[in-house]
Amino acid sequence: MQFTLGIEEEYMVMDPKTRELCSHEQKIVEQAHKLIRDKVKAEFHQAVVEVGTQICTNIEEARQDVALLRKTIWTIAGDLGYSIGASGTHPFSEWALQLITDHPRYFEIVNEMQDAARSNLIFGLHVHVGMENREMALHIANSVRYFLPHIFALSTNSPFWEGRNTGFKSFRTKVFDKFPRTGIPDYFGSIEEYDNYVKLLIKTNCIDNAKKIWWDLRVHPFFNTVEFRICDIPLTTDETCTLAALFQAVCAKIYKLRAQNLNFIIYNRALVNENKWRASRYGIDGNLIDFGKEMEVNARALIYELLDFVDDVVDDLGSRPFIENTSRILEQGTGADKQLRIYEQTNDLVAVADFIQEQFLKGV
């Protein structure tokens, strides 16, 4: 089976002088439509631009697409007098000052969720991995939930919120927790059970469509994909593609086990949540729980175990150089670690915002 990839990134739009988030009045989106068509769209807040790749056959193709999207948005924004960056939260901008995009769907969300929605000024990475059918997608989603905190720890890139060092490596997830239907999903025994859950929510007016299920991982309601939604947007293209390659590899590995009539142990949501909390707080610097051994283990050691676990599928996927980049993240630190180092050196959040901008096209 071919595990196709689709990558979505959310970028922040900043004023080059103040480095504050600012509305681009959808000018960036309008200009980008002429060049990359439906690969760009407006988001809930006017200081956000969302892009998405085409369906890519492998991670190298996805990297080329992500690089093109970053260059395109950066160039258009610069021509219009804006700057662009990628971080799970902005270091000091206040959500209450940001404008909501003029669209009926967004006004409906604000009407329902009020300040939970207005304050949701965060920037994420979504990775879609293609599946042969929705039944297989659900089987893989059930199994890979265990690995979500490990890969999320590598993505942590939001230590600051409204001018404060939050003490978290990913405060973005804490902001998003205010929404309903977020976090680690439950186990579903069959695709029918999952579909019946969605139908019940629609029937009882909890949601009007399945896209309002915002879990960290979901079987996509309209495509045959497993969609990973847990990660902060990384600073650089290379980090984005490393995370995407890891998600693709764990899917391929679970599929390979299934083909051999083997299963990965299913852990319940409450246990996986313990590791997610630790990953959001400490990133790669803390301990995660190895539930097989029932003991705490250094996060880096568990991530290296994950690399060993997927090692026999990465060459078939053509993703070894991207997977190997995981070691560089473990050595040099995540985006959050780098932002915190800049702050320790300068005691200046404007310098952190400058760093976020400088990293945006690194390696492209």
* pLDDT 10s digits, 140-191: 999 999 999 999 999 999 999 999 999 999 999 999 999 999 999 999 999 9
Residue 8's contacts (CB-CB under 8 Å, 6 or more residues apart) are 50, 51, 52, 53, 125, 126, 127, 128
Smallest Cα–Cα separation from 169: which of 151, 181, 183, 155? Answer: 155
Q: Round to whole Å and give the CA distance between 198 and 273.
A: 22
User: What integer pLDDT is reported at residue 249 of this predicted model?
Assistant: 98
Q: What is the token pair recorded at 63?
A: 């990297």
What is the number of other CB atoms lying within 10 angstroms of the CB of residue 258?
A: 15
Residue 192's contacts (CB-CB under 8 Å, 6 or more residues apart) are none
Q: What is the token pair recorded at 313?
A: 């599928």
Q: What is the token pair recorded at 300?
A: 């880096």
User: What integer pLDDT is reported at residue 222 of this predicted model?
Assistant: 85
Q: Note whether 32 and 76 are within 8 A (CB).
A: yes
Task: Please state the pTM of the whole predicted model.
Answer: 0.97
> How many percent of the chain have pLDDT more than 90?
96
pLDDT band at 105 (very low <50, low <70, confident <90, very high): confident
For residue 21, count CB atoms less than 10 angstroms from its CB and return exposed for 0-12, middle for 13-18, buried for 19 or more: buried
Whose tokens are 């160039």? That residue is 75
Average pLDDT over residues 320-329: 98
Q: Round to whole Å and give the CA distance between 110 and 102.
A: 11
Q: Note whether 286 and 299 are within 8 A (CB).
A: yes
pLDDT at 277 over 90: yes
Q: Round to whole Å and give the CA distance between 197 and 353.
A: 42
User: What integer pLDDT is reported at residue 185 of this predicted model?
Assistant: 97
Average pLDDT over residues 335-340: 98
User: What integer pLDDT is reported at residue 154 of this predicted model?
Assistant: 98
Domain residue spans of the chain: 5-359
Average pLDDT over residues 75-92: 98
User: What integer pLDDT is reported at residue 72 of this predicted model?
Assistant: 98
Supply φ then ψ for residue 55, to 5 degrees. -75, 120
Do β-strands 214-215 and 40-42 pair in parallel, antiparallel, or remain unpaired?
Answer: unpaired
H/E segment holding residue 304: helix 299-317
Q: Round to whole Å and give the CA distance between 206 and 356.
A: 37
Q: Note whether 209 and 336 are within 8 A (CB).
A: no
For residue 204, count CB atoms less than 10 angstroms from its CB and return exposed for 0-12, middle for 13-18, buried for 19 or more: exposed
User: What integer pLDDT is reported at residue 221 of this predicted model?
Assistant: 84
Distance of CA 273 to the CA centre of its chain: 17
Output Rg (C-alpha) for the chain, integer angstroms.
19
Q: At what angle do helices 299-317 and 269-282 cross, to 10 degrees?
A: 100
Distance of CA 214 to the CA centre of its chain: 12
pLDDT band at 1 (very low <50, low <70, confident <90, very high): confident
The domain 5-359 is classified under which CATH number: 3.10.20.30, 3.30.710.10, 3.30.590.20, 3.40.47.10? Answer: 3.30.590.20
User: What integer pLDDT is reported at residue 118 of this predicted model?
Assistant: 93
User: What integer pLDDT is reported at residue 11 of this predicted model?
Assistant: 98
- The secondary structure of 275-299 as a DSSP string is HHHHHHHHGGGSEEEETTTTEEEEH
Do β-strands 182-183 and 83-85 pair in parallel, antiparallel, or remain unpaired?
Answer: unpaired
User: 103-112, 227-236, 344-353: lowest mean pLDDT where?
Assistant: 103-112
Smallest Cα–Cα separation from 280: which of 216, 212, 346? Answer: 216
Per the prediction, the chain carries an average pLDDT of 96
User: 54-58, 114-118, 144-148, 284-288: lowest mean pLDDT where?
Assistant: 114-118
Decide: helix, strand or coil at residue 297: strand
Between CA 241 and CA 249, with CA 246 as vertex, the angle to 5 degrees is 120
